[in-house]
Every structure is written in structure tokens, then in C-alpha cells.
């Protein structure tokens, strides 16, 4: 009887550990950068001499998040690239030298007046299954956030390095030739792990099965323990009352 209880207790402890290891979220990596208007400007010169080329009218915050640790076999773990508009617009200025230094605003044309703007992104990371595995295009509108999500999955343990690429594509409203600008490239690294050769899905399955079996065969012992505890409390109450 004692050996049986010890084995059931060990089974429950090991099962709970596997269940927790397989279910708890892993480490998450993150990078944040600010993208200025000058980085989101057409490289082609303006039609009017002396006038700056059109640009996206607000600064943007570029955020990349990814699972730094990935359990082998796990699905539904995402790399997320988000390009969000900053809350405050920053007016570009130019310094003028003279008897008194001063700054004057630079009027940069709004690219949305003349172009449709598309944000395009792809994730390159060899050794991992990535979905979608092709380049994704989303419309970039004033003040709106665009978000790219890639589901990543690993079949083998190891360290995998990759790059998230982001481009802007400008499509003239007058039907002229479009242009494409590389905006940013951010490197990531994902470490895939297992526990004694057990991946995430197997660990969750084994842990849940162990807890169920341990609870099923140990239910009688648990019930007897509860009854013994209740009797002990009643005896203590009766002793205190006397």
C-alpha cells in the first residue's frame, strides 16, 4: 500500500511538471525602432525643382516580437511585425545660420495625395516552417497600424537565425511607374528545445494523461485522507469543548 502511494505521488509530480513545461509560455524577444519621415520618403525627386520628395506624413513605431524559445513541435507561436503611427507628429525643420540662428519648418508633400502606399514584409528563417512563407502586402493608410503575423514551427531542436524584411511600395494615382523602397531589416534568433526528447505537444499529452491516471487510481486514498482529516478536526473540537 505504501509503495503504491509513493508511485502515485511520483506519477502526479512528474505529470504536473510535464504539463506545466508544455503549457507555460516561453521567453519572448522584442525590438522597437522609430521610423522617421525621411526614411519613408520617395527616392525619386519631386516634379518641382527645390521641393522635397513626398513622404508618409507621420513618424512610425516599428515593433517586432518573436518567441525566443520555442518548444519542439509547438504550433500557433507567432512572429509579429507591427508598424504603428506615433501619437505626435514631428514637423521637420532646417537650421538657418545668420546673425541670429533660427529654424524654419520644411514643408514635405504628403505622399498620400499622389500615391497609394503598400507595406510589404516577409520572414526569412531557414530550418523553421513559416506560414505564410511568401511576401505579404497590406495597405498603409494615414494614422493606421499595419500588422504582419507569421506562424513558426520547428521539427528539430537548435538555434535558428532569421530576418524580418519590411518594404514600402508607392503606386502613383496617375498611373505612373511604381517604386519600392527597403525600409528595415530586423534580425531574430529562435531557440527550439525539448525535455529529454519530449516536445511540447507530447509533454502536454503525457502530463494530462498522468494527472488523469494518478487522480483515478489515487481517488480512494484522497477520499480516505479527507475523511481522516475531518475526524481529526472533530476530535480536536470535542477535546477543546471538554
Distance spanning both ends of the chain, measured CA to CA? 36
Residue 62 neighbours by CB distance under 10 Å: 19
DSSP 41: B
C-alpha cell at 68: 525566443
Q: Note the pLDDT tens digit of each residue in 131-161.
A: 999 999 999 998 899 999 999 998 888 999 9
Number of Cα atoms under 13 Å in the Cβ half of residue 13? 6
Q: Note the pLDDT tens digit of each residue in 165-217.
A: 999 999 999 888 888 989 999 999 999 998 888 887 778 888 788 777 766 66
The residues that bridge with 49 in the sheet, in sequence order, are: none
The residues that bridge with 103 in the sheet, in sequence order, are: 95
Q: Note the pLDDT tens digit of each residue in 32-58.
A: 999 988 888 887 665 555 577 888 888
Residue 183 neighbours by CB distance under 10 Å: 19
Amino acid at each position: 500500500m505504501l509503495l503504491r502511494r509513493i508511485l502515485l505521488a511520483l506519477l502526479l509530480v512528474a505529470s504536473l511538471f510535464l504539463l506545466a513545461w508544455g503549457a507555460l509560455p516561453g521567453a519572448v524577444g522584442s525590438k522597437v525602432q522609430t521610423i522617421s519621415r525621411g526614411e519613408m520618403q520617395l527616392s525619386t525627386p519631386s516634379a518641382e525643382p527645390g521641393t522635397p520628395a513626398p513622404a508618409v506624413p507621420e513618424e512610425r513605431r516599428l515593433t517586432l516580437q518573436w518567441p525566443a524559445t520555442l518548444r519542439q513541435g509547438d504550433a500557433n507561436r507567432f512572429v509579429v511585425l507591427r508598424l504603428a503611427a506615433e501619437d505626435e507628429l514631428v514637423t521637420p525643420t532646417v537650421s538657418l545660420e545668420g546673425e541670429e540662428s533660427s529654424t524654419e519648418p520644411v514643408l514635405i508633400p504628403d505622399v498620400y495625395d499622389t500615391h497609394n502606399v503598400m507595406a510589404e514584409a516577409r520572414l526569412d528563417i531557414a530550418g523553421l516552417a513559416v506560414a505564410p512563407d511568401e511576401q505579404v502586402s497590406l495597405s498603409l493608410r494615414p494614422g493606421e497600424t499595419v500588422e504582419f503575423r507569421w506562424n513558426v514551427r520547428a521539427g528539430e531542436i537548435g538555434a535558428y537565425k532569421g530576418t524580418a524584411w519590411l518594404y514600402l511600395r508607392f503606386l502613383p494615382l496617375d498611373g505612373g511607374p511604381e517604386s519600392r523602397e527597403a525600409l528595415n531589416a530586423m534580425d531574430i534568433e529562435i531557440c527550439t528545445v525539448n525535455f529529454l526528447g519530449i516536445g511540447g505537444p507530447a509533454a502536454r499529452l503525457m502530463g494530462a494523461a498522468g494527472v488523469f491516471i494518478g487522480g483515478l487510481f489515487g481517488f480512494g486514498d484522497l477520499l480516505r485522507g479527507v475523511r481522516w482529516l475531518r475526524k481529526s478536526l472533530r476530535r480536536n473540537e470535542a477535546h477543546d469543548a471538554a
